Amino acid sequence: MKFRIIILILAFLVLINTSYASDIKIDTYSYDFKVLTDNINVENVIKFKEGSIGIFEFDIPEDATSIKIFKDNIEISYADEINIDNTKELKLKYTTKEFLERSNFLITIRSGYDIDNLKIKLKLPEGATLTKPIKDETLQGGSAYPIPSKLYSDGLSLILEWERYNFKVNDEISILVIFNQGKDLLPIIILSVVILILVIGFVLFIYKQKKPKIKKIKRLKETKTIKEEKEPSILKHLKENEQQIIRILSMREGQCEQGTLRVLTDFSKAKLSRILSELEERKIIIKEKRGKKNLVFLKK
């Protein structure tokens, strides 16, 4: 009899803990990304609905530094899991390089909770511009995918915003922004003039002193041209979807993240995975797992 009572008590406690851990209701989940020269400052704010209880888990990049967590505007010790009973707001701040590749910003956000309002804000470095400017009020035609909800400037930096409503558990959104870093033109002009003078001097020296080497350089250029003419012939034996992937890899120096390929091709995850598997079997590409990313290489 006592044994049965103990079993019932344990079952009751498990039931309470299960319902307790899952009763998290999020009103607003916002990301604020500020791109610097070679890293990104991130501010993640979660506003909970009244009555939310349970353990909230943060998803933080492995390379994150300067991590700070605020619970209702009071800084607390860092932890992957936080009890949010009677909590109105959590704020997470950190610095990372995870979402920055050269002048590309790329992130995939996957929800672990139901979210009423998802807001994403991206501030580019001062003077930076999109590689393909957005021309009209529809915000189409630029190098930001998907199309942002808002695009504006604070006078120094370009700012993009995306909004999603009723974002459900396991929903995801991938964002890609390709931009040009803003630069001071005067040092570039001076450096360009110096380089031009050096190149002209070097070419004149080679022409006068070592003419045979110029012929070798010409032969190398001719060989390179022949090789470049042969490379596109690979595309003749590929399907249209496969050709699209190979062209993207060629334009990106023979390598690209799988997530970036998915955004640029607009293929579904399953379709892209199938096409890449077929290309890999035919030894046209190579896939490698690096951390949380899948890298795709064009086989030489």
DSSP alpha helix (H) spans, 134-210: 185-209
111: Cα within 13 Å, side-chain hemisphere: 25
Tell how strand 74-76 and strand 55-57 pair up.
Answer: unpaired
Q: What is the pLDDT of residues 127-181, one digit of tens each?
A: 888 988 776 666 776 789 899 999 999 989 999 999 999 999 989 999 999 998 8
Tell me: cis bond preceding 148? Omega within 30 of 0 counts: no
Residue 167 shares a structural domain with residue 133:
yes
Residue 82 shares a structural domain with residue 206:
no
Residue 26 shares a structural domain with residue 160:
yes
In a domain, 277, yes or no: yes
User: Residue 81 to residues 64, 70, 135, 268: CA-CA distances in angstroms?
Assistant: 16, 13, 44, 32
Residue 141 shares a structural domain with residue 279:
no
Residue 27 shares a structural domain with residue 168:
yes
Decide if 80 contacts 92 (C-beta within 8 A): no
Q: What is the CATH number of the domain that holds 90?
A: 2.60.40
Residue 67 shares a structural domain with residue 146:
yes
Residue 168 shares a structural domain with residue 216:
no
Name the pTM for this structure: 0.56
Task: Indicate left, alpha or beta for 197 from its phi (over 0: left) and psi (-120 to 50: alpha).
Answer: alpha
Residue 105 shares a structural domain with residue 55:
yes
Instruction: Count structural domains, the chain.
Output: 3
Which segments in the chain show pLDDT lower than 50? 14-21, 213-217, 219-231
Q: What is the pLDDT of residues 3-36, one digit of tens each?
A: 555 555 555 554 444 444 458 989 999 999 999 9
Written as six digits, the tokens of 168 are 């459900």
Domain limits at 270?
A: 238-298
In a domain, 253, yes or no: yes
